[in-house]
Amino acid sequence: MRVLAISGSLRAASHNTALLRAAAQLAPEGVEVELYHGLDLLPPFNEDDEADLPAPEVARLRDAIASADAVLISTPEYNGTVPGQLKHAVDWASRPYGPGAALWGKPTAVIGASTTDYGAMWAQDHLRKALGIAGARALEADLPVGKAQHRFDEEGSLSDPDTAERLTEILTALIDHRHELSRAA
């Protein structure tokens, strides 16, 4: 099983990207977690550009999502919601709307980390809502990692055992969710 991991943060030392790297290390045998690179290359979503051949990075994002068995997204929270570049990714992957879209029917899970006490809870909620409207099958479970600066070591490795345990639970739930959707299809 292949899980595409998308970090909503563009920062080099992102806690959200570090959380996804930890997910790759914690993934059970037979599950590959592949980190998507290139979110910063996506153009802003513009409906006028939908009729044309999509930009190369849009096509690459759509292909990466479509070919994955499931998607795991880690989002920071900016001004109480999802960062704009991550929202562009959801919008591009939701088009053309309906069964032809990369996100349509895709099992997804949303997690998030921030330096605040709340661990990007609002952003996770908003992202699950946007994914649901886009046709993805988002887990209701979340993983708010608050005070993230204290949960990773200087090299960016997850050092908090409670967070690692919860992350493993989310991965297991996403894998189970994917299997349930496959059986129901």
pLDDT 10s digits, 60-88: 999 999 999 999 999 999 999 999 999 99
At residue 127, the pLDDT reads 98
Cα–Cα dist 10/78, whole Å: 12
**pLDDT more than 70, % of the chain:** 100
What average pLDDT score do residues 94-106 get?
93
Q: With cut-offs at 50, 70 and 90, classify the pLDDT of residue 54.
A: confident
> Which band of pLDDT confidence, cut at 50, 70 and 90, is reported for residue 185?
confident
User: Which domains, from first to last, does the chain contain?
Assistant: 2-184 (3.40.50.360)
pLDDT in tens, 130-147: 999 999 999 999 999 999
pLDDT at residue 52 is higher than 90: no
Mean pLDDT of 40-56: 88
- Separation in Å, CA 26 to CA 23, 68, 95, 137, 165: 5, 18, 32, 23, 9
First-to-last C-alpha distance (Å) of the chain? 17
Euclidean distance between CA atoms 2 and 14, whole angstroms: 23
Per-residue pLDDT, averaged over 17-33, amounts to 97
* Average pLDDT, rounded, for the chain: 95
Average pLDDT (43-52) is 86
Q: Is the pLDDT of residue 181 over 80?
A: yes
Question: Rounded mean pLDDT of 79-102?
Answer: 94
Ramachandran assignment for 90, one of left (phi > 0), alpha (psi -120 to 50 degrees), beta (any other): alpha
Taking CA 167 as the corner, what is the angle to CA 34 and CA 119, rounded to the nearest 5 degrees? 105
Q: Residue 51 pLDDT > 80, yes or no?
A: no
